[in-house]
A and B are shown apart, each in its own frame.
Chain A
Amino acid sequence: MAYSKSRYLVRRFQLDPSLIIVILLLSIVVISGFVLSDRFGTTRNFMNVLEQSSGLGFASIGQAMVVIVGGIDLSIGAVVTASTIFMAAVVDLHPGLMIPMIFGTLLFGAMIGFCNGYLTIKTGVHPLVVTLGTASILNGSVLIYTLQPTGGVPYWFEEFAYGRIWNVPISGLVMLSCFALTWLFLRYFQAGRAFYAVGESPEAARLSGIQSSRVILLAYSASGFFAALAGVYFVSRTGVGDPRIGDPITLASITPVILGGLILGGGKGNVLGVLLGVILISLLGNLLNYMNISTFIQWVIQGVIIIIAVSVYVDKGEKL
């Protein structure tokens, strides 16, 4: 039997029912945006949303990878915070280290992620608890160092967050490429496929000759890496390290993951769905702002969305 290219391209996208829901919600938000506000449906606005959603996007990629291997990372917000401080503080002292520090910060995040994975595997404690613990340690360390926004980076570095190429935000492009690369990795690489196997059952994966603990370590390291990337983005945006900036990110990073049809407990899902989730959340926030709905009400909406999304999708999901 021969396999035509087109046939397996169709298979490749494997549209999950949950994705249809996200697409549906997305269309509702976009349509109501066009109806309710004349500023919403402009290219300019969409580009702004893309730019603003990058931080959330980075964080969500990492969260998605951990969720696929059956874990959860509640330290993402703390890693974001710590990365901004680390980067801004060091660059403030040694402005010449700007470029190396981008990589240094990413490495820093990946190392924290690695620790999360290591502790999860070695102690046998649920990742929820382990990452809650590392989050507390990181936040404590940061707050001892500073209670106020601190440090600084050269002015030109804001190009990463605000710069445009052909009117498209650079940060947005970076985020989209990260999603694309992650998708390619999960789809076309042996190690990527192993994520799903480990997520379904680490023991079965081990019996199949997959080194489950390496896969888990990789997933958590990636999560830390992307959280640090989100941190770099925020430094670029605000120019400083901020000891509180990551607080809302942890929960926010879970929302698109769930909306994208990834199930807590692992083994399932597609990061493209997560991307749709990120866009949905960002557009919704954008629309609510145009409608002058208070941030406080937006919090309520976020909570309600999580609850609805989870209770719709979770039925066979494992309780964490």
Chain B
Amino acid sequence: MIRLDGVSKIFPGVKSLDKVGFEAVAGEVHALLGENGAGKSTLIKTISGAYIPDEGTIYFDGKKHKWGSPKEAKDAGIHIIYQDLVLFHELSVAENIFIGEAPLTRFGTIDYKTMYEGADEILHRLGHHIDVQALVKSLSVADQQMVEIAKALVGETKLLVLDEPTAMISGREAELLFERIKLLRDEGVCIIYISHRLEEIFSIADRVTVLKDGQLIGTRNIEELDRDQLVGMMVGRELKDIFPSKRVPSLEAAPVLTVRNLCAPPKVKDVSFDLHAGEILGIAGLVGAGRSEVAHALFGSIPRSSGTVTLGSEGFNNPSPRESINRGLGFLTEDRKGEGLMLLLDTSANISAPALPEFTTATGLDRAHEIQVAKDEIDRFRIAVPGPESGVSKLSGGNQQKVLFGRWTRACRRVLILDEPTRGIDVGAKVEIYEIIRQLANDGLGILLISSELPEIVGLCTRVLVMREGFITGEVEGSQIIEEVIMKYATAERESMALDVA
């Protein structure tokens, strides 16, 4: 169905795809696996025509293709469901399903009646009922996901690509989705399925292709593989070499952070937990479960509505981020470029940002001191940057992340919140970051680790909180910390769900 031959795509400073060969045939579910930054997204954007490959050729349906735009690929029968839903909130469900290819009347106007009926029929085929005239902005995330899938059923889809379709939906909805996918496969559609949840891959895929750092590792039939082999292919080394050994902290001393009944509408509901010095406490859960919002509510970057928080031995209620920093809290956010780095400023300014008061003197900013501090951090974390006065925008993801570690470990004395600290960085850098996290905990910081990468949670944490829909639904410790248990809590159906959605 589709074949890529020696395809490369180069971005400034990164070779995102390096001579990748890939083939998927009609009537199969072909899983595409790899860590963040392995090149999966680039690969599908190349297939979809959103990126034009710098070298190599794409064959579709046996013919050589060079798509100039997503529209051409779409017309050829390729449909992509992106991880970030491509929906238009001010348009109706039906309009979104038929975007760009609405049925027309003989006057050339949109035939709304036919369109609504068509949308109804498609959703019916998916076993899902939504008011097709409703605006998409009024739908829940799961319904929006269905709309996104429904789009693939308009016209003739020969190749369907799903990029992490289960990232935001519950277990039951995911099962429903798998049924639809198998149905489509049996109709002869070629399906490329991207996910990093291994259980899913084993339950749905026929073949699997693994990418790592932009290179093809290999394509296998799923029966030939077991779980560990697959992980080995993705990571390129054995799991035990990746994570530093765990150390259970002493839990006798009073906790450094206690949280009781914390609420921050709409995403954080009645969250309570303790964090001890030297502990790495994980927060797991699906995307949208409210994990990052807990972090923001603790840090003071979104308002709390109720609950009590104690930091050290004193109350810590409704702080501003400035107060949080002064009290010894650090927060490394998930969106490295959007909320973390200042890409226009140099390394030293990025490191000193939360500690500016420390560098302020009567005559202005103490630049010499600032640069010295930056040098120390660069040495300490072995950041590959020419010097404190060079920029951060061209650094690799791993080094950018280390700059942020430099920033927060300077400013933070008690508790460090890490939100997806290894997102989009390569394996080597991940290992370094894991060692840093371990070291920081050993030095006595309390660490709250939010991560979507379950192996990371399993490999680092001595205690894990699992969140779902804003609540903490489970707490696991010691030998209980395995992916299956965590996923059970993360996707467990709750009776309150119906209420929440309503």
Residues of A at the B interface (CB closer than 8 Å) are: 1-3, 7-8, 11, 184, 188-190, 193-194, 196-197, 200-201, 204-211, 267-268
Most chain A CB inside 10 Å of its own CB: which residue of B82, B87, B99, B101:
B99
User: Are A3 and B117 touching (Cβ within 8 A)?
Assistant: yes
Question: Which residues of B sit under 8 angstroms from A11, Cβ to Cβ?
Answer: 92, 133
- Within the complex, the shortest CB–CB distance from A141 to chain B, in Å, comes to 37
Question: Most chain-A Cβ atoms within 10 A of its Cβ — which of B82, B95, B100, B108?
Answer: B100
Closest B residue, CB atoms, query A263? B90
Excluding A190-B100, A204-B86, 8 further A-B contacts by CB distance (< 8 Å) are A1-B117, A3-B112, A11-B133, A189-B108, A197-B99, A200-B89, A207-B70, A267-B89
Supposing A11-B133, A200-B88 touch, asked if A189 and B100 sit within 8 A by C-beta, the answer is no
Question: For chain B residues 260-308, which have a beta carbon within 8 Å of chain A?
Answer: none
Decide: A209 and B74 in contact? CB cutoff 8 A: yes
Q: Quick one: closest A residue to B109, CB to CB? A: A188
What residues on B are CB-neighbors of A184 within 8 Å? 109
Q: Is the CB of B90 within 8 A of A268?
A: yes
Interface string of B92-119 (1 = CB under 8 A from A): 1001000111101000111011001100
- Asked whether any CB of chain A lies closer than 8 Å to the CB of B469, the reply is no
Q: Is B50 an interface residue (CB 8 A)?
A: yes
On whether the beta carbons of B88 and A196 are closer than 8 Å, the reply is yes
Chain A neighbourhood of B112, CB < 8 A: 3, 8
Chain B residues whose C-beta falls within 8 Å of the C-beta of A204 in the assembled complex = 86-88
Q: Indicate whether B394 reaches chain A with its CB closer than 8 angstroms.
A: no
Tell me if B110 and A190 are in contact (CB < 8 A).
yes
Is there an interface contact between A189 and B99, defined as CB atoms closer than 8 Å? no
Smallest CB gap from A1: residue in B: B120
Selected from B50, B69, B90, B102, the residue in CB contact (under 8 A) with A267 is B90
A267 touches B88 (CB 8 A): yes
Closest to A268 in B: B90
**B50 touches which of A196, A207, A210 (Cβ 8 Å):** A207
For the complex formed, measure the closest distance between the CB of B231 and the CB atoms of chain A, giving whole angstroms. Answer: 31
Using CB atoms and an 8 Å cutoff, list the residues of chain B in contact with chain A.
48, 50, 69-71, 74-75, 80, 82, 86-92, 95, 99-102, 104, 108-110, 112-113, 116-117, 120, 133
Are B100 and A210 in contact, with the CB atoms below 8 A? Answer: yes
CB within 8 A of B133: which of A8, A197, A200, A268?
A8
Q: Judging by beta carbons under 8 Å apart, are A206 and B110 in contact? A: no
CB distance A8 to B113 under 8 Å? Answer: yes
A189 & B88 in contact (Cβ 8 Å cutoff): no
Q: Give every chain B residue within 8 A of A268 (Cβ-Cβ).
A: 90
Chain B nearest Cβ from A40, distance in angstroms: 37
Option from A1, A7, A209 in Cβ contact (under 8 Å) with B71: A209
Task: Give every chain A residue within 8 A of B90 (Cβ-Cβ).
Answer: 196, 200, 267-268
- Within 8 Å CB of B69, what residues of A? 206, 209, 211
Bound Cα distance A184, B105 (Å): 14
Contact A194 B110 (CB under 8 A): no
A208 touches B133 (CB 8 A): no
A209 touches B88 (CB 8 A): no
Residues of B within 8 A of A267 (CB): 88-90
Q: Can you list 28 pairs linking A and B with CB atoms under 8 Å apart?
A: A1-B117, A1-B120, A2-B117, A3-B113, A8-B112, A8-B116, A11-B92, A188-B110, A190-B104, A193-B99, A193-B110, A196-B88, A196-B90, A196-B91, A197-B91, A200-B89, A200-B90, A204-B88, A206-B70, A207-B82, A208-B99, A208-B100, A209-B71, A209-B74, A209-B101, A210-B100, A267-B90, A268-B90
Q: How far is the CA of A7 from the CA of B95 in the complex (A)?
A: 17
Contacts of B113 in A (CB 8 A): 3, 8
Q: Are B89 and A189 in contact (CB under 8 A)?
A: no
Q: Are B102 and A190 in contact (CB under 8 A)?
A: yes
A63 to B29, CA, bound (A): 48
The answer to whether B80 and A207 touch across the interface, beta carbons within 8 angstroms, is yes
**Can you name the residue of chain A whose Cβ is closest to the Cβ of B86?**
A204
User: In the complex, what distance in Å separates the CA atom of A260 from the CA atom of B87?
Assistant: 24
Q: Are A194 and B120 in contact (CB under 8 A)?
A: no
**Taking the nearest CB of chain B, how far is it from the CB of A290, in angstroms?**
39
Least CB distance from B334 to A in Å reads: 21
Separation of A190 and B115 alpha carbons in the complex (Å): 12
Query: Within 8 Å CB of B87, what residues of A?
Result: 204
